[in-house]
């Protein structure tokens, strides 16, 4: 349940966080130019309302659509969100958070249904009209249904907040907020829940206490100060002052989370500190005119309306003071704790909240290896890892695909570091493992170790599930031929080696000449070095239509070709149509997975011997 909440919270905050700059611009507009601002200006004040009503919700909706369905999702989300905005009389942040991803999901389903069914030459027409027509329909639905529903939801939330304020109970939210922060739900809470309510209150009163509930730096400062003075472990004691500077001045609240995790009882301190500050702010009617992000002293004071800076600062001091007084005796009575262990725990928790499988949690049924085109790197990586976990009998399906088409039922997605943003957009629900190469990477070893730990001690395990290319019964002589194998080549540059592989593919009739440029472009985007002295250059997704027939060539460089800090002795050029090449790639993966066979492959001078290894 914790992982599900973290994923949902991360999804909410991922729509808002990229747009924080726009929120800050709106916050400054409000603080400076409204009637009660620092320098009231009627003309500039006229920008405040449209930015709040239209710009911010549309930005949130567009990001939500992009996360689900890329650029097309962003465009259709913008169209649909307008209906939600116009169908409500309140600021529609929450409506945009609902409609944006929904619109992206709808267009993604439409595109999937149209795959392979669009007449040649009509693709652009269908793509443009589909967004226009479906977007219009969703906009109408947003106007008549989602807008009014979300208005009701927001009124309920506002009513709940007002009830808490009227009954002096708002400080109680600290009981939930502070533990949630340590679980890395701080951004989700602040920008997914408090900011929409705060924006509505700012529109009416020019300020809102909602912007102060999560971002107050005082509680964390109190905890860190107590550790700096009373911690028994020298490493912890010496590190706390630096953490105070980063937290208080830089606004990075995550810096104090390990100190709380070292001794969970300390969590009482920031809870009580936050409650004290909220009580003070409620009693004095204090609020901010925009979100304080990051939650530093500078951002906090910058968003304070004219004449309230002293009051805002007093609230921070109250929070820090109470937190310090409560944390100090707890830390004094505690034994020496290991900060490194707490930081490791924090990294695992943070990884889970961001969808990164530092810990493999929950049931794992499908692991997907993803590369740019889904043609070669991911196929070899999936084959090797599938064979590796097969003895564990965990019933896990391991497949490969392009990074932009990761299936919705993926539990763990594996991709290279430079592709992680695209992977998150393609499969926000999946845990993410980032690697440098597909055959030999520490993070793959860590993933295997986690899966192995799941298998240990379990007597009731399912048979391993394999998704492999259907056996044809014989080796396809047309995919790899003697003329496509070159051994004993002199070392050249990486670009020259890739061009040589592409030229050989072209000469053998596997690809058009333009495919070679795609191979070079692919290498600029993300390396095709696989590890273990093997590189498999191939074209980008955009050049797959330049493949005439499936083919694989192999160039052997005994002295190696420099691929960054690594040397590749084997350059395996790939051109694939559909899945025709995957069986041979699987065989190649098996061969290079055998150390003796791999060394023989790197050194042999016989083309016939190379070909025989893959039959």
Kindly list the catalytic residues. 371, 538
**φ and ψ of 570, to 5 deg:** -120, 120
CA distance 266 to 231: 12
Each as own residue / partner, the long-range contacts of residues 130-133 (CB below 8 Å, 24 or more positions apart, any chain) are 131/72, 131/75, 131/76, 131/79, 131/107, 132/79
- Which CA distances in Å does 420 have to 360, 425, 522? 18, 9, 16
Taking alpha carbons only, the member of 472, 464, 471, 551 closest to residue 505 is 551
The helix (H) or strand (E) run that includes residue 607 is helix 607-613
Say which residue the tokens 């060539």 belong to: 553
CA distance 118 to 272: 61
Number of CB atoms found within 10 A of residue 615's CB: 11
Tokens (6 digits) for 184: 């890395």
Q: Do 575 and 565 meet the contact criterion of CB atoms below 8 Å apart? A: no
Number of CB atoms found within 10 A of residue 267's CB: 18
Taking alpha carbons only, the member of 222, 207, 331 closest to residue 274 is 222
Number of CB atoms found within 10 A of residue 609's CB: 13
CA distance 423 to 417: 10
Q: Do 228 and 309 meet the contact criterion of CB atoms below 8 Å apart? A: no
Tokens (6 digits) for 329: 């005796």
Q: Do 424 and 432 meet the contact criterion of CB atoms below 8 Å apart? A: yes
The helix (H) or strand (E) run that includes residue 185 is none
List the beta bridge partners of residue 567: 562
What is the dihedral angle through the alpha carbons of 527, 529, 531, 536, rounded to the nearest 10 degrees? 140
- Which CA distances in Å does 456 have to 394, 405, 447? 10, 33, 14
Q: Do 209 and 290 meet the contact criterion of CB atoms below 8 Å apart? A: no
- Which CA distances in Å does 192 have to 116, 197, 295, 299, 302? 38, 9, 16, 19, 22
Q: What angle do CA 157, 56, 300 make, to 5 degrees?
A: 75
* Sign of torsion over alpha carbons 585, 586, 589, 594: negative
Given strand 412-416, what is the order of strands in its sheet? 397-402, 366-371, 412-416, 431-435
- Which CA distances in Å does 300 have to 122, 319, 324? 54, 14, 20
């Amino acid at each position: 349940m914790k992982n599900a909440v973290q994923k949902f919270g991360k999804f909410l905050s991922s729509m808002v966080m990229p747009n924080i700059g726009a929120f800050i611009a709106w916050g400054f507009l409000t603080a400076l130019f409204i009637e009660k601002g620092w320098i009231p200006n009627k003309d500039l004040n006229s920008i405040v309302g449209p930015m709040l009503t239209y710009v911010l919700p549309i930005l949130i909706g567009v990001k939500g659509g992009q996360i689900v369905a890329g650029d097309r999702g962003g465009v259709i989300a913008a169209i649909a969100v307008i209906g939600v905005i116009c169908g409500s009389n309140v600021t529609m942040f929450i409506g945009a958070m609902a409609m944006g991803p929904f619109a992206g999901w709808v267009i993604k389903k439409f595109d999937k249904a149209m795959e392979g069914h669009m007449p040649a030459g009509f693709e652009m027409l269908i793509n443009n009209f589909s967004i226009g027509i479906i977007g219009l329909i969703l906009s109408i639905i947003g106007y008549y249904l989602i807008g009014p529903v979300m208005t009701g939801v927001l009124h309920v939330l506002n009513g709940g907040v007002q009830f808490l304020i009227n009954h002096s109970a708002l400080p109680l939210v600290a009981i939930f907020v502070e533990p949630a922060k340590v679980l890395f739900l701080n951004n989700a809470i602040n920008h997914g829940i408090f900011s929409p309510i705060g924006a509505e209150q700012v529109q009416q009163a020019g300020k809102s206490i909602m912007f102060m509930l999560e971002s107050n730096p005082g509680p964390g400062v109190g905890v860190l100060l107590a550790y700096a003075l009373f911690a028994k472990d020298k490493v912890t004691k010496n590190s706390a002052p630096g953490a105070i500077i980063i937290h208080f001045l830089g606004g990075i609240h995550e810096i104090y989370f390990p100190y709380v995790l070292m001794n969970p009882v300390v969590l009482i301190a920031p809870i009580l500190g936050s409650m004290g500050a909220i009580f003070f702010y409620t009693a004095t009617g204090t609020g901010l005119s925009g979100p304080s992000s990051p939650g530093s002293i500078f951002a906090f004071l910058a968003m304070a309306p004219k004449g309230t800076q002293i009051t805002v600062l007093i609230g921070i001091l109250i929070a820090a003071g109470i937190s310090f007084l409560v944390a100090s005796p707890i830390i004094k009575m505690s034994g020496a704790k290991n900060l490194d262990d707490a930081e490791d725990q924090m990294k695992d928790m943070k990884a889970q909240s961001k969808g990164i499988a530092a810990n493999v949690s929950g049931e794992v049924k499908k692991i997907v290896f993803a590369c740019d085109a889904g043609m070669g790197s991911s196929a070899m990586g999936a084959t090797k890892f599938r064979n590796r976990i097969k003895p564990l009998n965990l019933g896990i399906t391991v497949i490969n695909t392009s990074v932009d088409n990761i299936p919705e039922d993926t539990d763990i997605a594996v991709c290279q570091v430079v592709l992680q943003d695209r992977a998150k957009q393609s499969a926000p629900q999946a845990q993410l493992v980032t690697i440098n190469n597909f055959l030999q990477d520490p993070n793959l070893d860590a993933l295997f170790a986690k899966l192995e730990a799941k298998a240990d001690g379990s007597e009731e395990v399912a048979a391993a599930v394999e998704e492999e290319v259907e056996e044809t019964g014989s080796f396809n002589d047309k995919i790899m031929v003697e003329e496509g194998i070159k051994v004993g080549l002199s070392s050249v540059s990486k670009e020259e080696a890739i061009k040589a592989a592409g030229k050989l593919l072209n000469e053998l009739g596997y690809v058009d000449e333009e495919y070679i440029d795609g191979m070079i472009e692919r290498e600029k985007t993300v390396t095709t070095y696989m590890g273990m002295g093997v590189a498999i250059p191939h074209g980008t997704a955009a050049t797959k239509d330049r493949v005439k027939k499936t083919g694989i060539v192999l160039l052997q460089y005994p002295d190696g070709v420099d691929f960054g800090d690594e040397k590749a002795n084997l350059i395996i050029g790939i051109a694939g149509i559909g899945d025709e090449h995957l069986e041979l790639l699987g065989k190649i993966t098996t061969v290079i997975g055998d150390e003796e066979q791999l060394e023989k492959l790197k050194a042999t001078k016989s083309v016939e011997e190379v070909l025989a290894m893959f039959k």
